[in-house]
Structure 1
């Protein structure tokens, strides 16, 4: 493990160096195109020779100097020019917009995947294709600091939803406006994959995509279980009768899910029966687009919401005053009833569990189709759950776990809670109680690894899990509710 850790640390440092080198390639090409000369990185000055003043009038990516540099790197590394161009664009983005992330990568504190997640989520903060203004740079700097702090303690997969939440707070354009624009790009396309296979891809609003996938998954699970049971029954009958058991390979859930999609879309709608099936399905999808998504509405109550001294328009880290449209931080629909010092309702961004922030209209549609509501009261300072109230009778502990954990508590795993086992941290046979302080979500795979793979875990009073691997490495996982609801004291600067 020490050998692996040392390799990983050196690999991350080399990746940071490669990012800086690729960014420098573009800087050199830009300087040459603009009639400048360069020496060491950071040393760029006007050229005194007759070549000065030959600056190109278009984007540097179209310049001969840049295309020549890309071709040179591609030939040297034996890569395609398109791959090199993508590397350079990524390097420029990270080194210019997220310098602290690159520094953390160089120190081995984060992985290249963390850097990719941070850059991807942060793109909504600026304006695509435009240089950052002073305001955008300030917003991005706060976003970088908050997300980088989290990145040092979680996997890239766990970082992604957190980064999206934080980026949403500092984005110039609202998710509602971006979603309305992106809807015009929804499409379906086909990619051949070899071996007689292909990828059928669809770009859809997340609520519809989630509904389709959830329905296919549930149908596939039921079908796969039925097929497995039938295969077992056939083998048992063959054993009783003394005959050769049939050779049957039940389909897995993934196979059944793909077959269900193909069977449904492959219906011959030119026939009367097929046309009626398709028409009925289309009508149902149109009328209940979000009907297959379970709506979970969380009402978060903060004690300091009643503090009249709170000014939501100021951000001490940005040093921004009223000149930055501080009225944007207030929800005009609630300003009159809430008072000038209330926290803006718009800071509580709706989310679809497992998918991140969603537009308010989409959240309302999903909530409108929900059959039950849960009100969650949390401590604003720590994110600890104070109480969970439900209007539909259910097990109190399961409700609290649904809110507190949300997904598998294994380091790096985000299997949704509804697909996980409820595990006793200390087994019942070892004296463990069936209490919130001893319960948590674990997916079936990690549940088995926990009990039989040599791992040890302790659940701390704040629901943090402290894992110890077979090689004595310690890792902590924080309850999802603490990640979601904890107050940073840094409201958006708008």
Structure 2
């Protein structure tokens, strides 16, 4: 885009803003002169007022798209200014002269945007990357389908990737015709936090350096930090391997949940803090010293910390579990982890971690590790695997805190099967029953999306199952196919006598087919060796 086109774009955006401003003024006058009758869902009962509420949402959505278009224009303006200023430098300019010019450009942009020079330098760097290396992201910004926060995440998560990998990253999330596009709602429909989590998952699988090597380097930096704060308070934070941190968080949350009740006045965050303080300050198990010379200098592994006793899902590609590849596994509530960590979890923490194997053919989950043959417990565990968190748009509440809930109520003819179950968090569970928000579109493999009281549809976020990387065959040989483990019929579950269902009534006829068979039922003995 040249300068003249940029000026025309600014005029077009200005006209759009003016139209929105006129609409807001007229809508405000209409609302001021009307009488509203509020219904149980929080929206007005009268149709004209309902239309007003819907129109205000249109203004909000339109403003967000304009903000994205303005961000794209700022990116192009910053990149254009930097390129024009660099072209003014003499061809034989020295390194110090070019450094001085770069400092001048940064200072000029900082003054124009009234930001610090550090922020201006980062913005110039991001603008250069978006303009040259991430064309799909810049186009999505210009179209208003991706926010500036999403654009910055694209810059962050493609840093260090090769140009080919960065292009594949963009195509995965922004090109619906890509070989393996992202599943579920579009990238711009995810909150920035949820988009970063999905982007990080893709990056870990395609990073040029394996997660095993990067984790081995970073684990030496583990530490506990203390920072005094105001009003007699302080912060205590720990930098730990992901499995330990996730286990501590889930176990603390579970303990805090057991303390909740009608007479308990503390909030869940307060209970978590009190439980953690009680555990840390109470009598505990002594950790043994590691003798000198037991590990190479600079590579001391984590000490003999007990395996967390919390129910945490660990999704492991079958070849990683067998040690044939270095594909990352996935820890529920965190994301990708090194395969060695996953193998240790399923071997040492078998009673605490629910192991999920993924199919070598397409990366889809095969079956959750069997700790019970009861029908309803595997269903609950499957819901945790399918949904991972509360499915309400933008909610990041993980599955440990959530409730199993019938999409279509039992009283209305709904059955207790995974195609009629969701697991909203307590807050959005109440929202579903108290307002007109409705979960819809649930399947065995896909969590439900939601429809708002105004009729807007919000598709579900879905996990991106990718085909695993196959190990190299022995020299001179080729893989001929998969063992027939994957094609055998699963054994029927025992007739449940210890019901762990969603309600007091469970439907056993008309239930979906059993979950896929586990081809490695004796995984614990093989991985512990």
* 1:196 CA drift (Å): 5.0
Q: Counterpart of 2:421?
A: 439
Partners of 2:145 and 2:469 in 1: how far apart? 24
Q: Counterpart of 1:113?
A: 149
Q: Counterpart of 2:464?
A: 484
Are the equivalent residues in 2 in contact too, given 1:378–1:387 (CA < 8 A)?
A: no
Change in CA separation of 1:116 and 1:73 when aligned onto 2, cut-off 3 Å: closer
Q: Counterpart of 1:240?
A: none
Between 1:285-294 and 1:1-10, the stretch displaced more is: 285-294
Partners of 1:388 and 1:202 in 2: how far apart? 30
- Structure 1 unmatched runs, 5+: 38-46, 127-135, 232-249, 268-273, 306-329, 335-344
Aligned length: 388
TM-score by length of 2: 0.64
**1:261-296 alpha-carbon deviations (Å, 9 max, x no partner):** 45666x5xxxxxx8xx46x35459942353345454
Partners of 2:83 and 2:434 in 1: how far apart? 54
Partners of 2:107 and 2:354 in 1: how far apart? 58
Partners of 1:172 and 1:116 in 2: how far apart? 21
* 1:7 CA drift (Å): 0.4
Are the equivalent residues in 1 in contact too, given 2:67–2:147 (CA < 8 A)?
A: no
Does 2:65 align with 1:9? yes
* 1:252 CA drift (Å): 1.8
Does 2:385 align with 1:400? no
* 1:432 CA drift (Å): 1.3
Partners of 1:80 and 1:148 in 2: how far apart? 32
Does 2:111 align with 1:75? yes
Q: Counterpart of 1:257?
A: 272
Does 2:405 align with 1:423? yes
TM-score by length of 1: 0.68
Q: Counterpart of 2:93?
A: 54
* 1:400 CA drift (Å): 2.3
Q: Counterpart of 2:335?
A: 356
Change in CA separation of 1:152 and 1:379 when aligned onto 2, cut-off 3 Å: farther
Q: Secondary structure at the match of 2:440?
A: strand
Q: Secondary structure at the match of 1:54?
A: coil
1:216 alignment partner, one of 244, 252, 275: 252
Q: Counterpart of 1:450?
A: 432
Partners of 2:246 and 2:368 in 1: how far apart? 26
Counting only pairs closer than 5 Å after superposition, residues 194-233 of structure 1 correspond to structure 2 as: 194-195=230-231, 197-223=233-259, 225=260, 229=263
RMSD: 3.6
Are the equivalent residues in 1 in contact too, given 2:390–2:424 (CA < 8 A)?
A: yes
Change in CA separation of 1:8 and 1:68 when aligned onto 2, cut-off 3 Å: same
1:22 alignment partner, one of 78, 83, 94: 78
* 1:390 CA drift (Å): 1.9
**1:35-91 alpha-carbon deviations (Å, 9 max, x no partner):** x42xxxxxxxxx6xxx44113169x6xx22222232233333332222322333333
Change in CA separation of 1:436 and 1:114 when aligned onto 2, cut-off 3 Å: same
1:102 alignment partner, one of 138, 142, 152: 138
Q: Secondary structure at the match of 1:442?
A: coil
Partners of 1:8 and 1:476 in 2: how far apart? 19
